[in-house]
A and B are shown apart, each in its own frame.
Chain A
Amino acid sequence: MASKPSTSTKSKSTVQMAPKPSSFTKDEELKAYYDMLLIRRFEEKAGQLYGMGHIGGFCHLYIGQEAVVTGMQMAIKEGDQVITGYRDHGHMLACGMNPDGVMAELTGRQSGYSKGKGGSMHMFSKEKQFYGGHGIVGAQVSLGTGLAFANKYRGNDSISLAYFGDGASNQGQVYESFNMASLWDLPVIYIIENNRYAMGTAVTRSSALTDFSQRGASFKIPGMSVDGMDVRAVKAAGDHAVKWTRGGKGPFILEMETYRYRGHSMSDPAKYRTKDEVQKMRAEQDPIEQVKQRILKSKMSSEDELKTIDKEIREIVGKSAEFAQAAPLPDASELYTDILVGA
Chain B
Amino acid sequence: MAIEILMPALSPTMEEGNLAKWLVKEGDSVSAGDIIAEIETDKATMEVEAVDEGVIARIAVAEGAQGVKVNEVIAVLAEEGEDASKVETLPTPVESITATEEKQEAEAPKVEPATASVSAPVMEVANDPDVPAGTAMTSITVREALNSAMAEEMRKDEDVFIIGEEVAEYQGAYKITQNLLQEFGDKRVVDTPITEHGFAGIAVGAAMSGLKPIVEFMTFNFAMQAIDQIINSAAKTLYMSGGQMGAPMVFRGPNGAAARVGAQHSQCYAAWYSHIPGLKVIAPYSASDAKGLLKAAIRDPNPVIFLENEILYGQSFDVPDVEDHVLPIGKARIHKEGTDVTIVSFSIGMKYSIQAAEILEAEGISVEIIDLRTIRPLDMETILTSVKKTNRLVTVEEGFPQSSVGCHIASQVMQQAFDYLDAPVITIAGKDVPMPYAENLEKLALPNVDEVVQAVKQVTYK
- Interface on A for B, CB 8 Å cutoff? 81, 83, 112-118, 122-126, 131-136, 139, 141-151, 153-154, 172-173, 175-177, 179-180, 183, 337-343
Question: CA of A340 to CA of B204 in the docked complex: distance in angstroms?
Answer: 15
**Identity of the chain A residue whose Cβ is nearest the Cβ of B248 in the assembled complex:** A341
Question: Cβ of B242 and Cβ of A117 under 8 Å apart?
Answer: yes
B70 to chain A, nearest CB (A): 38
* Complex Cα gap A337–B209 (Å): 21
Q: Does B380 contact A (CB under 8 A)?
A: no
**Are the C-beta atoms of A131 and B209 separated by less than 8 Å?**
yes
Q: Report yes or no: B245 in contact with A118, Cβ–Cβ below 8 A.
A: no
B206 and A147 within 8 A (CB) = yes
A142 touches B278 (CB 8 A): no
Smallest CB separation, A185 vs chain B (Å): 13
A-B contact pairs, 25 of them (CB 8 A): A113-B242, A114-B240, A115-B242, A117-B240, A118-B242, A124-B244, A125-B244, A135-B232, A142-B200, A142-B229, A146-B204, A146-B205, A147-B206, A150-B205, A150-B206, A150-B209, A151-B209, A153-B187, A173-B201, A176-B199, A177-B202, A339-B239, A339-B277, A340-B302, A341-B238
Task: Say whether B205 contacts A176, CB under 8 Å.
Answer: no
Alpha-carbon distance A261/B218, docked complex (angstroms): 46
**Closest CB-CB distance, A94 to chain B, in whole Å?**
18
Measured between beta carbons, the chain B residues less than 8 angstroms from A115 are: 242-243
Interface size class of B (residues with CB under 8 A): 35 or more
Contact B202 A145 (CB under 8 A): yes
Interface centre among A125, A136, A147, A153 (most CB of B within 10 A): A153
A122 touches B240 (CB 8 A): yes
Query: B199–A180 contact, CB under 8 A?
Result: yes
Known: A139-B229, A179-B198. A153 touches B206 (CB 8 A): yes
Given contacts A113-B242, A341-B301, contact A139 B233 (CB under 8 A): yes
Q: Across the two chains, which residue of chain B brings its CB closest to A181?
A: B202
Do A146 and B280 touch across chains, with their CB atoms under 8 A apart? no
Other 17 A-B pairs with CB < 8 A, given A142-B229, A173-B201 = A115-B242, A116-B242, A126-B244, A134-B232, A136-B233, A139-B201, A142-B202, A143-B204, A144-B205, A146-B208, A148-B205, A150-B209, A153-B187, A176-B193, A338-B238, A340-B278, A342-B301
The residues of A that contact B210 with a CB separation of less than 8 Å are 150
User: Does B205 contact A147, Cβ atoms closer than 8 Å?
Assistant: yes
Closest to B193 in A: A179
Q: Indicate if the CB atoms of B240 and A173 lie closer than 8 Å.
A: no
Q: Name the CB-closest residue of A to B228.
A: A136
Contact in complex: B197, A176 (CB < 8 Å): yes
Enumerate chain A residues within 8 angstroms of B199, measured Cβ to Cβ.
176, 180
For B430, the chain A residues whose CB sits under 8 A away are none
Would you call B232 and A180 a contact (CB within 8 A)?
no
Smallest CB separation, A17 vs chain B (Å): 30
Known: A135-B232, A342-B301. A180 touches B195 (CB 8 A): yes
Q: How far is the CA of A16 from the CA of B357 in the complex (A)?
A: 70
Question: Nearest-CB distance from A219 to chain B (Å)?
Answer: 11
B241 touches A124 (CB 8 A): yes
A338 to B199, CA, bound (A): 25
For residue A83, which residues in chain B have a CB less than 8 angstroms away from its CB?
A: 205
A147 to B207, CA, bound (A): 8
Whether B193 lies near A183 (C-beta < 8 A) is yes
Q: What residues of B have a CB within 8 angstroms of the CB of A147 in the complex? A: 205-206, 208-209
Residue B192 is within 8 A (CB to CB) of chain A in the complex: yes
Contacts A176-B199, A180-B199 known; A142 to B205 CB distance under 8 Å?
yes
Contact (Cβ within 8 A) B301 A176: no
Q: Which chain A positions have C-beta within 8 A of B29?
A: none
Q: Give every chain B residue within 8 A of A339 (Cβ-Cβ).
A: 238-239, 277-278
Give chain A residues whose Cβ lies under 8 Å from the Cβ of B241: 113-114, 118, 122-124, 132-133, 338
Partner of A173, one of B198, B206, B377: B198
Interface assignment of B12: CB less than 8 Å from any CB of chain A: no
Q: Which residues of B contact A114 (CB under 8 A)?
A: 240-242, 244
Contact partners of B242 in chain A: CB under 8 A: 112-118, 124, 338
Q: Is there contact, CB below 8 Å, between A180 and B193?
A: yes
Tell me the complex Cα distance, A125–B211, Å.
17
> What residues of chain A lie closer than 8 Å to B56, measured between beta carbons?
none
Q: Quick check: A131 and B280 within 8 Å, CB to CB? A: no
Taking a contact as CB atoms under 8 Å apart, the answer to whether B208 and A143 are in contact is yes
Asked if B233 contacts A134 (CB within 8 A), the reply is yes
Chain B residue nearest in CB terms to A171 = B197
**Does B246 count as interface, using CB distance less than 8 angstroms?**
yes
B residues 55-103 touching A (CB-CB < 8 Å) = none
Contacts of A341 in B (CB 8 A): 238, 243, 246, 248, 301-302
Report Cα–Cα, A141/B239, bound state, in Å: 21
> Are A146 and B197 closer than 8 Å at their CB atoms?
no
Bound CA span A172–B196, Å: 11
Residues of A contacting B204 in the complex (Cβ-Cβ under 8 angstroms) = 142-143, 146
One of B193, B198, B280 near A340 (C-beta < 8 A)? B280
B161 proximal to A (CB < 8 A) = yes
Which chain A residue shows the least CB distance to B205?
A: A146
Contacts of A175 on B, CB cut-off 8 Å?
A: 198
Q: Is the CB of B240 within 8 A of A180?
A: no
Q: Chain A residues near B148 (CB, 8 Å)?
A: none
Within the complex, what minimum Cβ distance (angstroms) separates A218 from chain B? 13
Say whether B202 contacts A180, CB under 8 Å.
Answer: yes
A172 interface neighbour in B197, B207, B239, B277, Cβ under 8 Å: B197
Q: Interface centre among B198, B233, B243, by most A CB within 10 Å? A: B198
Could you say which residues of chain A place their CB within 8 Å of the CB of B246?
A: 341
Quote the shortest CB–CB distance from B402 to chain A (angstroms).
26
Q: How far is the CA of A231 from the CA of B326 in the complex (A)?
A: 55
Q: Which residues of the partner chain B approach A172 to less than 8 Å between Cβ atoms?
A: 197
Q: Determine the distance from Cα of A104 to Cα of B6 in the docked complex, in whole angstroms.
A: 72
Residues in A with CB closer than 8 Å to B187 are 153
Pair A149/B205 contact, Cβ less than 8 Å: yes
Q: How far is the CA of A28 from the CA of B206 in the complex (A)?
A: 33
Pairwise interchain contact A176-B198, C-beta atoms closer than 8 A: yes
> Quick one: given A142-B198, A176-B198, are A338 and B239 in contact (CB under 8 Å)?
yes
Chain A contacts for B202, CB-based, 8 A: 142-143, 145-146, 149, 177, 180
Shortest CB distance A65–B (Å)? 23
- Given A81-B209, A338-B239, A339-B239, A179-B195 contact (CB < 8 Å): yes
Smallest beta-carbon distance A117→chain B, Å = 6
> Is B203 located at the chain interface by the 8 A CB criterion?
yes
Q: Counting chain B CB atoms within 10 Å of each CB, which of A132, A143, A154, A179 scores highest?
A: A143
- Report A170 CB to chain B, min CB distance, Å: 14
Kindly state the separation between the CA atoms of A148 and B205 in the bound complex, as whole angstroms: 8
